[in-house]
Structure 1
Amino acid sequence: MPPPLTTIAREWGRIGCVGFGGPPAHIALLRELCVDRRRWIAPDEFEDAIAAVNLLPGPASTQLSVYCAYRVRGRLGALVGGLCFILPGLVLILALAAAFLADDPPAWLQGAGAGAGAAVAAVAVRAGVDLIRPSWTRGRIPYILLGALAAATLGPWLVIVLLACGLASLALRLRAAGVFAPPLFLAVATAGSGGLGALCWTALKVGALSYGGGFVIIPLMQADAVQTHHWMTDAQFLNAVALGQVTPGPVVHTVAVVGYAVAGVGGGLLAALIAFSPSFLFVLGGADRFHDLLRNQHARAFIDGAAPAALGAILGSAIPLAAALTEWWQAAILAASALLLLALRAGVVPTLLVAGTTGALIALAGGPLP
């Protein structure tokens, strides 16, 4: 007998509240709930679901949470479970955005944001290295390098490079099999000059056009929010990324801070709605075909190019994030954070909290603020 919706809401809401640490933590919590404790899903089916959502664009851990709720309680359960997984972190990050993006926040709060933001580039390198190491092969190097270069230099056009890498990998696979693959051309429409239309396009890129999730969305948002539309300063954007790391739930919540900068709470909710909607649509529309997706060689060939390019983009995003720092003490925090994260393998959330506390103390001591 399937569990009641109240159980889905309670269990998925709990994961949304305690899910610090990004996708690895979310996957572990979902596995403990659905496979080990409740035994709603068989272990091999859970592993297949992880593989399937990694073939889809957008935030994989969000899609996995929606899929697990779908398997347990059908479409209505998927909607309830997915929303309860997303909402706790979304509410918290919007409340923090209101404080950090206020017209005149207290100096200690500005310092905390500047300190945590200074560590973000090191977090990006840690995330990229951790993801690349298990899947490292010589054939992936060109895609990784292209993704890193694009994230460091192309900003809003990064999504085109990710798609092009996937299509190039597919074309090479088809030609190796003796199938003619015509030249590939990409046409991408861009949003208008700003406002809610541009915000919707940014959120759509985050939720439906990005492979790799997590930090791969950072250069996409940074180019739109800071360089193209000037919704935020570099310092404010770094704060937004840090908030996305220290709050529970998916890192895609960061787009809600960008939306808040554009149009307040309404803008934040709109950005989150557009960014997360594709995850629900992909899963509700295709959950029964996940096994077919895993056997589809064309889909796997596309991912063989797009996925390593996305991982390279995570590494490349560290360059514009570090370049946005303006104070000497932020550079010192970045160096210390890199030591903690890369050499000592400290946790991401504790490192960001230490960096934020250091920044707050520097501000209270009268240090310069960005």
Structure 2
Amino acid sequence: MISDLIRIFGRIGLMSFGGPAAQIALMHKELVETRNWLTEDQFLRALSFCMLLPGPEAMQLATYAGWKQRGILGGLIGGGLFVLPGAIVIAGLALAYGTYGDLAWVAAVFLGIKATVVVIVIQALIKVAGRALTGPIDGLIAVAGFMALFFLALPFPLVIAVAALIGAARSTTGPAAAPAPPARLGHSLRIVLVGAAIWAAPLILAYMLELPFLTDIGLFFSKLAVVTFGGAYAVLAYMTQQVVVDFQWLSTAQMMDALGLAETTPGPLILVTQFVGMVAGAAEGGVAMALWAGLMTLWVTFVPCFIWIFAGAPLIDWLGGRPRLRGALAAITAAVVGVIANLSLWFAAHVFFGTVEPLVWGPVQTIRPVIGTVDPVAVGLAVVAAILLLWRGWSLPRVLITLAGVGLLHWAIAGGA
């Protein structure tokens, strides 16, 4: 059975391109249709539960499926093999990026990737909005979240916390939940306590060894791991602000390159955090620090995902019957629509315009692209990406590779300048 778990989840990990929708469809085919490891009802209930958690829902679903087969060991195999192939590829790309990222032809390739990223984020906005905005109150929460971030530059965790409080206050009625057996609650609590200690161990070690950069990396991405409701897109604007403006680990262009590369690899998109950590580490202390920063980032990003599943999976039915919890998480999902809208404008401005200036007017803190610096090539590449991805229905890896090639071809025709 262990060998079967390794073989099946290894194949899922290697084939998990195209984001969570494609990844979830792949797992449904492998786990429900082909192997009957999960029933349809178990799969859907587990998926709903994973969507309520912070972190990548597809990776957590793989962890749950492994847990159902062989307990914690099976969960470690399922979730670990879902992440491992992409993490290896990202590590190689990050090291290569540090060596070749400043070359002119590489910049041309990344222009095509960045233009595609703009379309990808807009596509994510449309999909999330269709799922999350089920009524006028949800729409108001989304608009308020967008305005709080884009015009007032309020912290992302504050926006999410306020949305959760609003959602919980609105959800005062619902079906009564059957109480979970005390033994299950006690088991879940033990999992959380032991898991938290394991999660914190590298951070404590880095602090004791007086490694401030690794400590900062670990603390920041630990915080990010617990606020990633709504998937990676939901926290990209917050992460970018912190990484680019506050910590100054990466430039804006490097941050966008990171997302483009993460889109081309298997595994969850949140692996973009590993790329960010490694590029920042390379700038701090060369290849060795890049590798240590990458490992620290992977650890603090994904260990919590295992904790949530191992602690919460036995309580899925009980948690699903808590109306206030459901309401809070539904409101968070609505706020995420505003977060992604903010991200869409931010990305588009930095891809399509050569100069983007800060704009401060009283309480308003936003950005203002300089119209005269518009890049017609970037706009044209985004139009091509939109046609191929949204109209022609090409797969995401195919569009990214095509647009990277088009960007390189334009650079060559223009004289390689």
Q: TM-score, normalised by structure 2?
A: 0.78
Which residue does the alignment assign to 2:93?
A: 96
C-alpha spacing 1:135/1:156, structure 2 compared with 1 (3 Å)? closer
Residue pair 1:55, 1:299 contacting (<8 A) in 2 also: no
Tell me the distance in 2 between the aligned counterparts of 1:265 and 1:66.
Answer: 25
* 1:74 Cα deviation from its structure 2 partner: 0.7
For 1:25 and 1:32, the matched residues in 2 are separated by: 11
Q: How does 1:5-20 map to 2 (within 5 A)?
A: 5-20=2-17
Which residue is equivalent to 1:261?
279
Q: Is it true that 1:26 corresponds to 2:52 in the alignment?
A: no
Give the distance between the partners of 1:351 and 1:291, measured in 2 at CA: 40
Which residue does 1:129 correspond to in 2?
Answer: 126
Q: Distance in 2 between matches of 1:312 and 1:86?
A: 28
Q: Is 1:232 the counterpart of 2:250 in the alignment?
A: yes
Residue type matched to 1:160 in 2? L
Aligned residue pairs total 350
Deviations 1:111-147 (A, max 9, x none): 2122202221211010110222244322210122133
Between 249-258 and 109-118, the greater mean CA deviation after superposition: 109-118
Change (3 A) 1:104 1:31: closer
What amino acid sits opposite 2:57 in the alignment?
A
Deviation at 1:25, TM superposition (A): 1.4
Larger radius of gyration, structure 1 or 2? Answer: 2
Quick one: which amino acid aligns to residue 157 of structure 2? V
Distance in 2 (alpha carbons) for counterparts of 1:333 and 1:311 = 25
Residue of structure 2 aligned with 1:217, choices 210, 226, 235: 235
Retained in 1: the 8 A contact 2:13–2:85? yes
7 and 155 in structure 1: CA distance in 2 versus 1, 3 angstrom threshold: farther
Q: Describe the SS at the equivalent of 2:99.
A: coil
For 2:48, which of 48, 51, 64 is the aligned residue? 51
Q: How does 1:124-273 map to 2 (within 5 A)?
A: 124-137=121-134, 138-153=136-151, 157-174=155-172, 195-263=213-281, 264-273=290-299
Structure 2: distance between partners of 1:268 and 1:308? 32
- Distance (Å, rounded) in 2 between the aligned partners of 1:10 and 1:146: 46
One-letter code aligned to 1:169 = G
**1:304 is the counterpart of 2:330:** yes
Q: Does structure 1 conserve the Cα–Cα contact (< 8 Å) formed by 2:173 and 2:323? A: no
Please name the residue that 1:85 is paired with.
82
CA distance in 1, matches of 2:311, 2:405: 45
Counterpart secondary structure, 1:249: coil
Q: Residues 55 and 324 from structure 1, CA distance in 2 versus in 1: closer, same or farther, beyond 3 angstroms?
A: same
Residue 308 of structure 2 is aligned to residue 282 of structure 1: yes
Q: Could you tell which deviates more after superposition, 126-135 or 272-281?
A: 126-135
1:13 & 1:205 partners in 2: Cα distance? 29
2:154 and 2:403 mapped to 1: Cα distance? 29
Cα distance in 2 for residues equivalent to 1:69 and 1:19: 16
Measured in 1, the distance between the counterparts of 2:153 and 2:57 equals 22
**Whole-angstrom CA distance in 1 between matches of 2:9 and 2:239:** 28
Q: Identify which of 394, 398, 402 aligns with 1:350.
A: 398
Residue identity opposite 2:220 in structure 1: T
Partner of 1:65: 62
Q: Residue type of the partner of 1:354?
A: T
Letter in structure 2 aligned against 1:157: P
Structure-2 separation of matches of 1:64 and 1:17: 16
Q: TM-score, normalised by structure 1?
A: 0.87
> For 1:40 and 1:240, how far apart are their aligned partners in 2?
35
Read off the aligned partner of 1:235 and give its amino acid letter: A
Give the letter for the 1:298 counterpart. R
Distance in 1 between the 2:151 and 2:88 partners? 33
Name the structure 1 match of 2:381: 333
What is residue 179 of structure 1 aligned with on the other side? none
* Matches of 1:37 and 1:210, distance apart in 2: 31
| Aligned Cα root-mean-square deviation (Å) | 2.4
- What secondary structure does 2:277 align onto? helix
The secondary structure found in structure 1 opposite 2:267 is coil
Q: Distance in 1 between matches of 2:40 and 2:277?
A: 38
User: Deviation at 1:268?
Assistant: 1.5
CA deviations over 1:241-274 (Å, ceiling 9, x no partner): 0111111110010000110022112111211111
| Deviation (angstroms), 1:42 | 1.3
Which amino acid is the alignment partner of residue 20 of structure 1?
A: F
Question: CA contact under 8 A between 1:206 and 1:252: conserved in structure 2?
Answer: no
Alpha-carbon separation, structure 2, partners of 1:90 and 1:33:
22
